[in-house]
Amino acid sequence: MIITFPDGSKKEFEKGTKPYEIASSISPSLAKQSIYALVNDEEYDLSRPILNDAKIQFKKKEESFAVLNHSCSHLLASAVKALYPNAMFGVGPSIEEGFYYDIQPGDGIKFTEADLPLIEKEMVKIVNKDLKFERIETTKKEALELFKNDKYKTEIINDLDENNLITLYRHGDYVDLCRGPHVPSTKFLKNFKLTHVSGAYWRGDSKNEQLQRIYGVCFFDEKELKEHLHNLEERAKRDHRKLGKELELFMISEYGPGFPFWLPKGMILRRTLENYWYKVHTRENYQFIQTPIMLNRTLWEISGHWENYRENMYTSKIDDQDFAIKPMNCPGGLLVYKNSIHSYKDLPIRMGELGLVHRHEASGALNGLFRVRNFTQDDAHIFLREDQIVSEVSSLIRLFDEVYSVFNLSYHIELSTRPENKYIGKLETWNIAEEALANACKEAGKDFKVNPGDGAFYGPKLDFKLRDSMNRIWQCGTIQLDMNLPERFDITYVGSDGQLKRPVMLHRALFGSIERFIGILTEHFGGAFPVWLAPVQVKLIPVNVEHHQEFVKKLSDKMKSLDIRVEMDLRDEKLGYKIREAQTKKIPYQLVIGDKEVENNELSVRRYGSQDTVSMSIDDFLNQVVDEIKTLKCDR
């Protein structure tokens, strides 16, 4: 058989040769560095025989995090089975930052964090045995017999087609249902850590029983594992729910689970972020709209939400007719577009809306500002001609790049393409749309990763994955090309030939939602926001309230006249207590005002996070703060 390598070179091998053997024939170092292979774009274990002519590409450690962690989920399951023989197993996938396995321990056992060290100890024993991961092909009948005592695996197998080839993986005595691939052996899994336990409904359905979900993470390098565990400790300290309470940003009441209350300081933060959003979008020639929160059922039937999203919508009756609170802003934006006649010369039309939406989320899924039941989407709906897609999307990517850099958030782009089965529109249209999004990335000078088949049913999309200061990935920005709603709502424009034509529609969110983005920023900055974003930018602390408050009040008035957000601490408390509290509140600048400052008409400036106090003239300090606000300086 002929094997073709990434550089186009070809080499003949005997039928049944394994990827590891092919790598070894090229160089011992390639064989040593490789974890798995892509054979005709299908993932192969290094030990799996290749039976026909094929293209091959070897994947090294830096590209194999998911495979490593999926293998470690099998390691976890084998250790649990050894310790708890009556355990049954759901699924154990790799995830963005590691892996988990859903388990029913059996015998009335419920896992707690205290059980993890015992399971880890058993996992270490299996790692040290250097057990090979062996791929086994079997039939549905044989698989059902093998897993007859595990109702979860049996349910999964019964969902498979009779003609489907079923694959299993064995290491030692443990066998699991799995497509693979895996690392060559358990010795690759020595740098792991189980992190926590939670409950999870079988197959994500609250009607099903709850299993125990054990989370963990595995790295090829011990140093990377230690860095990750350090980040986990930092994340606990930076939890936005904890900081939100300490910094008095928001609250959640038992009278409204999932419905956040914004407190005065949080409202300042939110409005500052929104004002920035309006400013950059005004510059980019967006028109701003506001659409109703509640609209008639007929509209949601036209949009398809009533049929496909009904269970997540809040509804009511008005004048004996069904209404729904909007879960998305798009239908309202389409009605605004239809309100006027448009010419090809008008396009693109960019409509921006900070629209409040409501979605019914399961109570168990609610999580601070990250998962709520009402939130403000920073939506834009752009109507344009097909020939404008590349230039418009390129322009959007540059805007995203500018905005994320303001917050020191790096990102990468993922292009999600047409689903294999459930999609609307012509194949030719999809191909054009996908190529347009790819070309837009290239025109903007941005690399992108392709997620085959992960697009929405109505069109392909670009997703912007942000990486924060603790190395977490967040899905925030998105650009979705919609071929469905323009058709459903029958929107048109008058073309250059005088005929009515269908515009292309882009859905576009930059922050994703204001609430979630603020939660992300709170943890990203650890609550120590850049000066321009901080609810309180300067804290004035007189050494002696009676003697120094007049100077402090004049200084406060001057700062307010420059739109600097300033607070005076005129309480009858000890100076050390006031300074510590200002530090706890993470206020960017703390100015202690005593006799020296009053006499010399100067300031003693202390920056949050620094132990140093610097003497500055009043004008120099004010100019510095104003400049940081104006330039959106972010040095964290």
Does 461 participate in catalysis according to the annotation?
A: yes
Q: Point out the catalytic residue in the list 70, 178, 182, 377.
A: 377
- 3-class SS at 290? coil
Question: In sequence order, what E strands does 220-329 have?
Answer: 250-251, 261-262, 287-288, 294-296, 315-318, 321-325
Copy the structure tokens of residue 249: 């940003």
Does 480 participate in catalysis according to the annotation?
A: no
Q: Point out the catalytic residue in the list 461, 508, 539, 586.
A: 461
Copy the structure tokens of residue 263: 């407190």
Copy the structure tokens of residue 508: 């576009």
Contact 263, 249 (CB under 8 A): yes
Q: Point out the catalytic residue in the list 507, 548, 586, 606.
A: 507
Does 196 participate in catalysis according to the annotation?
A: no
Q: Point out the catalytic residue in the list 359, 516, 548, 586.
A: 359
Does 379 participate in catalysis according to the annotation?
A: yes
Q: Point out the catalytic residue in the list 330, 441, 463, 508.
A: 330
Shortest CA distance to 289 belongs to which of 202, 368, 382? 382
Q: What is the dihedral of CA 120, 126, 129, 130, to 10 degrees?
A: -100
Copy the structure tokens of residue 282: 């005004």
Copy the structure tokens of residue 266: 């949080």
Handedness of CA 554, 560, 562, 565 (dihedral sign): positive
Q: Point out the catalytic residue in the list 45, 150, 378, 379.
A: 379
Q: Point out the catalytic residue in the list 153, 350, 358, 381.
A: 381
Contact 485, 303 (CB under 8 A): yes
Contact 419, 434 (CB under 8 A): no
Contact 168, 177 (CB under 8 A): yes
d(CA 273, CA 293): 22
Backbone angles phi, psi at 347, to 5 degrees: -85, 145
Backbone angles phi, psi at 588, to 5 degrees: -55, -45
Does 381 participate in catalysis according to the annotation?
A: yes
Shortest CA distance to 65 belongs to which of 186, 217, 177? 217
d(CA 364, CA 198): 11
For the annotated catalytic residues, the residue numbers are 330, 359, 377, 379, 381, 461, 507
